[in-house]
A and B are shown apart, each in its own frame.
Chain A
Amino acid sequence: MLAAIASLTVLGAVLGLGLGVAARKFAIDGDPLADEIAALMPGSNCGQCGMAGCAIAAKAIAEGTATATVCPPGGKALAASIAAKLGISVDLDEIADNGPMMAYVKEEICIGCCKCNKVCPTDAMIGAAKQIHGVIREACTGCGLCVERCPTEAAQMQPVPITLQHWVWPKPASVTTPAST
């Protein structure tokens, strides 16, 4: 009896000590995966994912509390590259439902308050005080911060127009197998 208790105790102590040493030796400062994911993210800290910034979102993805599809401005490309990094598969189709958006300014009600260009994370909103503002289309990520900030609802979101250069052939309708119909 005594031998059993003693041997198990010793064994447990030795293994615990070994694990403790190993934990010290293989300690990771920060999360290398989170850093790698953060490097992939847009970095504009727009907050559309509901988190305070890209680094925090990257950490959440690395920990598995957020999905790879969490970043709306990143879109499919980002989701695919994060999924490749994590070695998981994501359903890319769930991102495409409302498509990319872009800000525009309703010129007749813009009062030129300059509030939107202060919050824009990519400096896509331009305009001086008391002048009608405009959007640089190439720089807008569609984060929607300007819409929240605009006192007159002049800044609004619209879907990015599809042009000849952006049009993609639709996927052929899948053939149904006899069993699945």
Chain B
Amino acid sequence: MGLIEKFLHNPKAPRWGVHPDDHKRPAADAPLRTLPLPARLYVPLLQHVGQPARPVVLVGQEVRKGQLIAEPQGRISAPVHAPTSGRIVAIGEITAPHPSGLPFEAITIETDGHDRAVEADVPADPFTLAPAEVTALISAAGVVGLGGATFPSSVKLALGKRSEITTLIVNGGECEPYLSCDDRVMRDRAADVIDGVRLMLHCTGAREALVGIEDNKPEAIAAMRRAATRFPEIKVRPVPARYPMGSDRQLIETLTGKEVPSDCRAADVGVIVNNVSTANAVHRAVRLGEPLIERIVTINGGAVWQPGNILAPIGTLAADLLAFAGLKSEPARLVMGGPMMGAVLPHARVPIVKGSAGILAFNEDEVAIPEAGPCIRCGNCVQACPIGLLPLEMAANVRVGDLQAAASLGLSDCISCGCCAYICPSHIPLVQYFSHAKGELWAQERDKLRMEATRKLAAERAVRLEREAAEKAEAAARRKAERDAAKRAEAAAKAAAESAVTEVAE
């Protein structure tokens, strides 16, 4: 930290993290627009953490808006609903919004433009229902964490049953530059968000809710304060604008002073973190009976003509959104999510999913990154790391292939926030090193599990072969005994007959 920066540093702001130019305006100030229904929607089956959903519709079938088209399978999963009315034209693979460019399963719907919805059964007063019933409603609506992690919300809210939750933290940090969809939700739908927060308080049994909003969003803070005045249990707390304030551990520490230990979850310190957009989705699911089928997406970046926030159905192609916002130039790079942690898209023909906060189209100037140089051991990355890791040491170990050494330095605690790579004066792609190492370690772990399973199978096979051999031997012995007995009986009968004959003869 330079002397001038130290002088200008907000004394309340944490020492970790970085403060990139936020580029949020003018996109954040542009009024919310609604995307006209595209001709086709590509609704992926895996839009959440956990098992992919299983389709329950057939190709050619007519569906209505909000109709269940894929049901959850497994303990951690979420259902998928039709974002509008239309006809299923395909269930097959489409490019995933993922840097690998690999395909995943999606249901393609040809929209009919009528937007006919299914009838929803809405409880009159959800606060009279048991928390588990409200959680079930949220689960059936396919609500997942909209902050980016896309963890099924109902599973998270049900954590209150296992460990006591005292505080619900509502994450309005939105620390990623360029993105403003949460800002827009808080400005335009503050009352809905507060209602969603109250419902989540009811589900978890928490006593208070803290809404953390970065202080670079004064309009959102004002709107939320206004909406929350009637509810003393909900407190709106501005937090210093510092990336990655929107990371749950950092926000928990800033708001409550509690640090989540490395191998624990937030629930273990009595806290649950949910995004403001998730609160909005919970409100819509419970009060309107509307499943999570649309979301606000920020379209921003130097290549975009009219940056702003667009309300779009899930499954809309990024290309449709970019066409609606208009492009100034051919984008040099497309990113889904924020510039720090988002996924680089292979092309624009990928659908937006529940967790897509934004589509960023950058021009040449914005993506120009100088070539990486050698590490000069300046230690800036150590200062910036919000977890307190040693990125330079971990990356050096990954570079020479010593993944175990990197793991022993705390690689698994890395949240891939990108602060280290952002601050690095040598432009070393530190996060890519860590992502690579984490993936490799995961693969090795999987291989190990697989090998254990193989060993078990081989052992079971040996037991089976032995048993079969024993059974065969036993059966052979039995047959032989039977044959012998039959032979003996025959001989005895013959002898008896002979003796009878001789007796008769005598």
- Let me know if B435 is at the binding interface, CB within 8 A: yes
Complex contacts, A30 vs chain B, CB 8 Å: none
Complex contacts, B442 vs chain A, CB 8 Å: 168
Complex contacts, A121 vs chain B, CB 8 Å: 458, 461
B72 to chain A, nearest CB (A): 17
Are the C-beta atoms of B451 and A77 separated by less than 8 Å? Answer: yes
- Surface stretch bound by A, among B94-102, B308-316, B324-332: B94-102
The answer to whether residues A171 and B436 also contact, given A42-B458, A76-B444 and a CB cut-off of 8 A, is yes
- Surface stretch bound by B, among A3-11, A61-69, A158-166: A158-166
- Whole-angstrom CA separation of A77 from B458 in the bound complex: 19
Interface string of B408-448 (1 = CB under 8 A from A): 00000000000000000000110011011001101111111
Interface string of A19-61 (1 = CB under 8 A from B): 0000000000000000000000111110000000000000000
Are the C-beta atoms of A141 and B102 separated by less than 8 Å? Answer: no
The answer to whether residues A73 and B102 also contact, given A123-B461, A177-B374 and a CB cut-off of 8 A, is no
Partner of A122, one of B374, B444, B454: B454
Complex contacts, B99 vs chain A, CB 8 Å: 169
Complex contacts, A74 vs chain B, CB 8 Å: 447, 451
Are the C-beta atoms of A168 and B433 separated by less than 8 Å? Answer: no
The dominant DSSP class at the B interface is: helix
Q: Which residue of A lies closest to B459 (CB)?
A: A43
Are the C-beta atoms of A80 and B436 separated by less than 8 Å? Answer: no
- Whole-angstrom CA separation of A87 from B404 in the bound complex: 13
- Whole-angstrom CA separation of A170 from B435 in the bound complex: 8
Q: Which residue of A lies closest to B451 (CB)?
A: A42
Interface string of A84-117 (1 = CB under 8 A from B): 1000000011000000000000000000000000
A154 to chain B, nearest CB (A): 22
- Let me know if B453 is at the binding interface, CB within 8 A: yes
Chain A interface size, as a band, is 35 or more
A78 to chain B, nearest CB (A): 6
Complex contacts, B432 vs chain A, CB 8 Å: 169-172
Are the C-beta atoms of B447 and A77 separated by less than 8 Å? Answer: yes
Are the C-beta atoms of A139 and B457 separated by less than 8 Å? Answer: yes
The answer to whether residues A167 and B100 also contact, given A43-B454, A177-B374 and a CB cut-off of 8 A, is yes
Q: Tell me which residues from 370 to 386 in chain B have a Cβ below 8 Å from any Cβ of chain A.
A: 371-374
The dominant DSSP class at the A interface is: loop
- Let me know if A175 is at the binding interface, CB within 8 A: yes
The answer to whether residues A168 and B458 also contact, given A75-B447, A162-B102 and a CB cut-off of 8 A, is no
A98 to chain B, nearest CB (A): 15
The answer to whether residues A164 and B104 also contact, given A138-B453, A169-B435 and a CB cut-off of 8 A, is yes
Are the C-beta atoms of B102 and A167 separated by less than 8 Å? Answer: yes
Q: Tell me which residues from 431 to 482 in chain B have a Cβ below 8 Å from any Cβ of chain A.
A: 432-433, 435-436, 439-440, 442-448, 451, 453-455, 457-461, 464
Q: Tell me which residues from 97 to 128 in chain B have a Cβ below 8 Å from any Cβ of chain A.
A: 98-100, 102, 104
Complex contacts, B100 vs chain A, CB 8 Å: 162, 164, 167
- Whole-angstrom CA separation of A81 from B447 in the bound complex: 11
- Let me know if B36 is at the binding interface, CB within 8 A: no
- Let me know if A174 is at the binding interface, CB within 8 A: yes
Are the C-beta atoms of B102 and A122 separated by less than 8 Å? Answer: no
A141 to chain B, nearest CB (A): 5
A49 to chain B, nearest CB (A): 14
* Cβ contacts A to B, 24 pairs, < 8 Å: A42-B455, A43-B454, A76-B443, A78-B451, A92-B401, A121-B458, A122-B454, A122-B461, A124-B457, A138-B453, A139-B454, A139-B457, A164-B96, A164-B98, A164-B102, A167-B102, A168-B440, A170-B436, A171-B398, A171-B432, A171-B433, A171-B436, A172-B429, A172-B436
Can you add 14 more A-B contacts, CB < 8 Å, to A139-B454, A169-B99, A171-B433? A44-B457, A45-B458, A74-B447, A77-B448, A77-B451, A78-B447, A92-B401, A139-B453, A162-B100, A166-B443, A167-B439, A172-B436, A175-B373, A177-B374
